[in-house]
Each structure stands twice: as C-alpha cells, then as structure tokens.
Amino acid sequence: MNFKGRMATALSVSILGLTAPIAADAQNVLRWTSQGDALTLDPMSQNEGPTNAMNGTIYESLVSRNPSLELVPELAESWEPGPDGWTFKLREGVKFHDGADFTAEDVVFSFERAMAESSDFKEQAKNVASVEVIDDHTVKLVTDGPNPILANQLTSIMMVDKGWAEANDIVTPQNYAADEETYAVRNANGTGPFMVESRAPEELTVLVANPDWWGKDEFPGNLDRIEYRPISNAATRVAALLSGEVDFVLDPPLQDLERLRAADGLKVETVAQIRSIFFGMDQGIDTLRSSNLEENPFKDQKVREAFNLAIDREAIKRVAMEGLSFPTAMITPPGVMGNTPELDEPYGYDVERAKSLMEEAGYADGFSVQLDCPNDRYINDEAICQAAVSMLARIGVDVQLDAIPKAQHFPKIQNRTSDFYMLGWGVPTLDSHYVFSYLLAKDGSWNATGYDNERVNEITQLITTETDLEKRAALIDEAWQIVREEMPYLPLHHQVIAWAMSEDFDIPIAADDALRPRYVVKK
C-alpha cells in the first residue's frame, strides 16, 4: 500500500474509532482519574498501590478483600488452615480471558513466579514454602510450621496462566537490569471481571467487562466499560470532575472537598485510611547527628514522652488536615488486628507536663535536632512538620525542618541517617505482625529508631506461629501495651481518604484506597 493509501486506512479506522464512544453511551461507562497510572500490567513486577488496584481488576488472587476489607473468597472457594499448610479448594469452571481453564497448575506456577528473583512480591510469597497439587481444583500451600494469617498474606498474589506465560516468554517478571520490555508490561490475561481493550500508559486505559466472568451474578457491579485517564495535576483533576469529563476522582485535594460537595450532581465520601502518620526518634545511636548535644536525648524515655505531650494533634488536624484526620497514639489504624480504642487514645496535649519532663531529664534548656520530612508523599506532609516544629519550640527544642522529595527522604530512613523523621505506614495484611516486623522489631527493615525491646522482638516471632487466635491476640495486645508505654515513636494521626464522584454512581469507598469495580453500580 502506498503512503496515501495507508493514511486513508488510518483515517477511516480512526473515524470508526470516533464513532465507538457514541455507541458506548448506551452502556454503563465509568470514566475516572487519579494522580498516577499503573506502572505495568505485570501483576508481579511492581508492588505499588495504583498498579495493584489496576491489576486486581484484570487478574484475581485466591483470597481477596471486599470494600470493607473483609477476607472474601475469590479464585479459592474455601480454605482450611493446617499445622503445616493451608488447603485451598479452587473455584471450578473459571477461565482466563484467552479461554484457558484455571487449574491447580496455574496456582503452582503463579507462586513460583511470585517467588522469582525479579518479583516485587517475594516477601509475601515467601510465606509459602511450596505448593502441592492435590487434584485439579485443590491445592495445599505448604508453610514452614503453622501460619495463622496465611490467607491475609495472599491477597495481592495474582493468578497467572501458565500456558500463556510460557508462550509469551514471561515465566518470570521483568528484571530490573533487563534491556528489553517484556510482553506482560502491556498485555494482560487474567481471570478478572475486566479485560484490557486498549492501553496507552499515562494517557488512557480502556477496560471492558469480561462476558464470561464467574462472578457476574454474585457481585452488584454493573459496569460495561471503564476508561481510566491519569491526571497528575490536582487542580486539573478537580476541573475534569466539575466539568463532567470524568465521573470519579480517587484523590481530590482536601482543600477542594467543600467545593466538590457543594457542586451539583457530585458527592464526596470519606473513610479512615489504613495508613498512620508518625515521627520516628532514633534512640539507638549514642550521639545524634544533627544535635548540639554530645549525647542522645531520645534515649531517655522522659524526652520521648515530653515530645509526645508537646504535640497538639487536634491543632494539626484543624490547621494542616482540614479536619480530616484521626489523632492517635498508635502507629497502626483501626481495621488492623491489634488496634483497640484504648490503645488508640491519644496521649493528650500538655505543654506544662512536657516542660517538667524535659527538666527532669536534664534538658530544661532544650536542644536542637533536625526533622526529616517528605514533601510529596503523605497528605499535607510538609504542613504537618511545620506545625510540629513550632509546637516543639514551646518546650525549648529547636527543630530544623528539612522537607524534601520522597526519593531523597526515604533513603535517609533506609540508611539510618536520620535522627528524627516522618514516616507513614499502611498495612496490606491488616495484621499487627506486619507493623511489628517492619517498624518495631530490632531488625525491622524500616525500624530506624533503633528501638530494641526483647519482649516485643519475642512477640514478633511468637505470633507468626501461634495458631490459637485468642492467645495470639493477647500477645499482640501485650506488645502494643509495651510500645504505648515506651513511646519509641511519636504517633500523629491516621489519614483519612476522600473520594469524589458523580451522584450517578455508587462507588463503595475502601480504606486501602483501591477502586473495586466489581462493586461499582451505575444508577
């Protein structure tokens, strides 16, 4: 075909393409936006919120969570814990989008793929030592010893078709150092309710309903088509919703919520997020790096308590968070096993008491320290830190604020080079073990506080194998009591998320900030 001919074909194709949306008007279409696109369609290559949410619409896991974050069966119909592993009964008659059957073989393959060197889900997958096939629709996930919360740890491990992966040379997820794009980055073949119709990364991703999906009659959702276009600028996102170009914004800025509530035909939903914001204080090191003192005042529990009492969390909520936060004394939010109202009760705000504690500790004149803070990671993170600086000044502590992009902030925590830092923590397993093992255990990879309590370390180990759930809950509670007492962290609040949407839709908000299209109803 000559050039003119090619152009004519391209034009006619595109004109056909232009007419398609008109036909789609008759269907239930959800057009939505948020800040960032999924990074890849490979379900094991990037463990990142938006990516997991997108892939969770196309692919499915054995066990999943509904919008209230309760465990629900997905590709497994039922499961049975045992001393050396859990047995899962797989759903029968499930097909991948390309028509292949979903069987026990695919489960084995998917776990192997998730455990691969290049997988970003190794940490979750390593809870499973191996997968035994019992029959075509029964598998046993073998564990090293008893694991009481295995089901919680499986919700982000998606099932991939073995045959499809082998045919397309994507048996393992893409390697970091690879020099070629793999097939799975832009192509997907799951068992989920939606299939990829087209994908232009960072521009537009169109998903269409899977007509053969097993759950069609079991879920309330009635969408035929989802059009997702990321918009990185917050004001533009809000404008797109106000102008009716999109039906749903996942992450409207807090300061615009009132305006969106007031707009005709729009509504805003809020829920406490599974993410807590807190400051860490390095009490392990002998001399603080950024202080005028020769010693480390954070080693003294009185100083940590004074810091906790000097922070007016209600004021932060009012001034920095537009009223949308839950002040707390815990570094993990309600919804996570281990959080109780008693433990979550904030320490209270008492500057006089804080001052006398500082005096008792021998720091009546205060000291100086640097606060490391991200400025592009959590809701109004920099504003929170600024507020904290002036509050700590009241007890004589001279805090220098260093608010920098997350790409520079997190390495400071990773490399243990910060004295005093802001961190937020979400809990995908909804179990305290996730918090203990990363933030409180001595060797936790995000524990930059140097906190090392023998009993807490021990409990972190014990609850991995304690199958008596009552005993386990008591252990978790004991550890949290110790933490509340010793205050290795300075908890601020649990974040609140807000979703803004057209009144034509029922979109159940979820505390993990993930859209679950199978529950979305167009009225």
Q: Does 106 bind another protein (CB under 8 A)?
A: no
Site string for another protein, 192-211 (x = CB under 8 A): --------xxxxx-------
Judged by CB under 8 A, which of 293, 407, 469, 474 binds another protein? 407
Rounded CA-CA distance 79/169 in Å is: 32
Q: Does 469 bind another protein (CB under 8 A)?
A: no
CB closer to another protein, 237 vs 518: 237
194-200 and 138-142 beta bridge pairing: unpaired
Q: Does 308 bind another protein (CB under 8 A)?
A: no
Rounded CA-CA distance 36/406 in Å is: 15
Applying CB under 8 A, the site for another protein has a residue count of 59
Instruction: State the minimum distance, in angstroms, from the CB of residue 342 to another protein.
Output: 28
**CA torsion 325→329→333→334, rounded to 10°?**
-100
DSSP string, 216-239: TTTS----SEEEE----SHHHHHH
Q: Does 411 bind another protein (CB under 8 A)?
A: yes
Q: Does 48 bind another protein (CB under 8 A)?
A: yes
Could you count the other beta carbons within 10 Å of the beta carbon of residue 98?
12
CB closer to another protein, 230 vs 297: 230
CB closer to another protein, 93 vs 415: 415
Site string for another protein, 108-147 (x = CB under 8 A): ------------xxxxx-----------------------
CB closer to another protein, 312 vs 402: 402
Q: What is the DSSP letter of 437?
A: I
Judged by CB under 8 A, which of 179, 217, 218, 294 binds another protein? 179
Q: Which amino acid is at 341?
A: P
Residues with Cβ within 8 Å of 248's Cβ and at least 6 positions away in sequence, in order, are 30, 31, 32, 33, 241, 499, 500, 501, 502, 505, 507, 515
Rounded CA-CA distance 203/28 in Å is: 21
How would you class 130 by CB atoms within 10 Å of its CB: exposed for 0-12, middle for 13-18, buried for 19 or more?
middle
**CA torsion 317→319→320→324, rounded to 10°?**
40
The answer to whether residues 239 and 33 touch, using CB atoms and an 8 Å cutoff, is no
Q: Does 390 bind another protein (CB under 8 A)?
A: no
Instruction: State the minimum distance, in angstroms, from the CB of residue 160 to another protein.
Output: 17
Q: Does 40 bind another protein (CB under 8 A)?
A: yes
Q: Does 171 bind another protein (CB under 8 A)?
A: no
Q: Does 251 bind another protein (CB under 8 A)?
A: no
Torsion sign across C-alpha atoms 330, 332, 338, 341: positive
For residues 438-457, which are near another protein according to CB under 8 A?
A: 438, 445-446
Q: Where along the sequence are the contacts to another protein (CB under 8 A)?
A: 6-7, 10-11, 13-14, 18, 39-40, 45-48, 120-124, 174, 176-182, 185-186, 200-204, 229-233, 235-236, 239-240, 242-245, 376, 405-408, 410-411, 414, 425-426, 438, 445-446
